[in-house]
Amino acid sequence: MNLKKVTLISIIVIFLLSFPSHFMFDLFPNVLVSFFFPVNESIWEHMKILYTSILLGNVIKYVLLKYYHISFNNFSLSLVVSCFSSIIIYLLIYIPLYVILGENMFISIILMLLVYIIVEIFSYFILRFKKIRYINDFGYVLIVLGYVIFIYFTYKPIYNFLFYDTLNDCYGISEEINEKNR
């Protein structure tokens, strides 16, 4: 086993984790789950699928790297770059397609896989760089900050198309769910 094989496995694992991530809040509708998984069908909430799947997939990647004694550096930096760049790349490609074609599940899934491939290639090269000390130490703080932003906008969404759930005609977490969880 080497870093390239672990990266390939990671792409597959992250992609497969995306599917249960999409339905996690439907299965377990509570406040804690709302922090990590989408609570509605808005574009913004679906970015949690990318972020959380990459995070969980990289936990598995880390275990494989350690188990097979594969040399790597900058794991937290790699994780930060993967999580944040996945959202940026996805939105840069998805929004023009959404405006032109509307919602298309097939395009969304293929784009998600493409984004995972791209960010895992980024990750592969970052893991091979020489160790970058201070940025690496700050990486986990940035991951938590990403979730703080997700949590904030889940409960206090901006009223624009990114945050609008066309299926349920709402923004953020619906009031009915909020009432159940209090």
For residue 181, name the pLDDT band (cuts at 50, 70, 90).
Answer: very low
Q: What is the mean pLDDT of residues 44-49?
A: 97
Write the CA distances from 152 to 113, 167, 181, integer angstroms: 27, 22, 17
Q: What is the pLDDT of residue 137?
A: 76
Residues 135-170 pLDDT 10s = 777 888 999 999 999 999 999 999 999 999 988 899
Percent over 90 (pLDDT), the chain: 85
Domain chopping of the chain, boundaries = 3-180
Q: What is the pLDDT of residue 102?
A: 86
Helix then strand then coil, in percent of the chain rounded to 5, is 75, 0, 20
As a whole number of angstroms, the distance between CA 17 and CA 119 comes to 15
